[in-house]
A and B are shown apart, each in its own frame.
Chain A
Amino acid sequence: DGGITQSPKYLFRKEGQNVTLSCEQNLNHDAMYWYRQDPGQGLRLIYYSQIVNDFQKGDIAEGYSVSREKKESFPLTVTSAQKNPTAFYLCASIDSMNTEAFFGQGTRLTVV
């Protein structure tokens, strides 16, 4: 079955370490997105990519980096420059008709 896979589901890291969150899709979607969600809050856009080798900053890109070397993959790196990285991270892609964005199950990152 087609879908988006985020791994791992839970991630713990020490403060000051970079960490990379994986997002893979087999839906053949061109556009992919990364969101951050804090408890009880909405989704805030970190980065998005419309095609391979191209991506744009969202509203809260500082302290994060991404790459899009393959259509299927859009990994997010949370760098040590991100001041408060503990959050729930969601990856999404959208279909060619732009009528539904599909989401992964999310990664809960805790930095201690």
Chain B
Amino acid sequence: AQKITQTQPGMFVQEKEAVTLDCTYDTSDPSYGLFWYKQPSSGEMIFLIYQGSYDQQNATEGRYSLNFQKARKSANLVISASQLGDSAMYFCAMRGSRSSASKIIFGSGTRLSIRP
């Protein structure tokens, strides 16, 4: 069965510092995709970054990068130079490639708070 684990319920970070949000996953599917989403208090889900299991390089999108360690089954999100607007819930998610595993499952999330 597929599973996503986020072990940090909450984090406090000083503005302008870098922050790493942890995500580990479990799947028997040889091909899968990993996603990170940001959810501000408004409830909308904002897509941040995607990593395919066969991608050779770690994904990057502006201040966001994904530290993908396939052997460890981890996909940590790194936010560089944090800003006050980064305060939100962050969710890691995974989707398999087989038809029976095409559901997208989410972790329990990490609430990130940026201190001025």
**B47: contacting residue among A35, A37, A50, A100, CB under 8 A:** A100
* Contact B44–A101 (Cβ < 8 Å): no
B40 at the interface (CB under 8 A from A): no
Given contacts A42-B91, A43-B91, A100-B47, contact A50 B104 (CB under 8 A): no
Main secondary structure of the interface of A (DSSP, over half): strand
Q: How far is the CB of A44 from chain B (nearest CB, A)?
A: 8
Are B108 and A48 in contact, CB atoms less than 8 angstroms apart?
no
Contact with B along A25-36 (1 / 0, CB 8 A): 000000101010
Would B102 and A50 count as touching, CB distance under 8 A?
yes
Q: Tell me if B's interface is mostly helix, strand, loop or mixed.
A: strand
Question: B47–A31 contact, CB under 8 A?
Answer: no
Complexed CA–CA distance, A40 and B44 (Å): 14
Smallest CB–CB gap between A86 and chain B, Å?
15
Q: For chain A, which range describes its interface: under 10, 10 to 19, 20 to 34, or 35 or more residues?
A: 20 to 34
Segment of A14-22, A67-75, A77-85, A87-95 engaged in the interface with chain B: A87-95
> Which one of A33, A37, A40, A88 lies within 8 Å of B104 (CB-CB)?
A33
- Would you call A105 and B103 a contact (CB within 8 A)? no
Q: In the complex, what residue of chain A is closest to B50 when comparing beta carbons?
A: A99
Per the bound structure, the CA–CA distance linking A68 and B8 in Å amounts to: 37
B45 at the A interface (CB under 8 A): yes
Identity of the chain B residue whose Cβ is nearest the Cβ of A103 in the assembled complex: B45
Whether A48 touches B103, Cβ cut-off 8 Å, given contacts A90-B45, A98-B97, A100-B35, is yes
Inter-chain pairs besides A40-B111, A90-B45, A101-B104, 6 sampled, C-beta below 8 Å: A42-B106, A42-B108, A45-B106, A98-B95, A101-B95, A106-B44
Chain A residues proximal to chain B, CB less than 8 Å = 31, 33, 35, 37, 40-45, 48, 50, 56, 58-59, 88, 90, 92, 94, 98-103, 105-106, 108
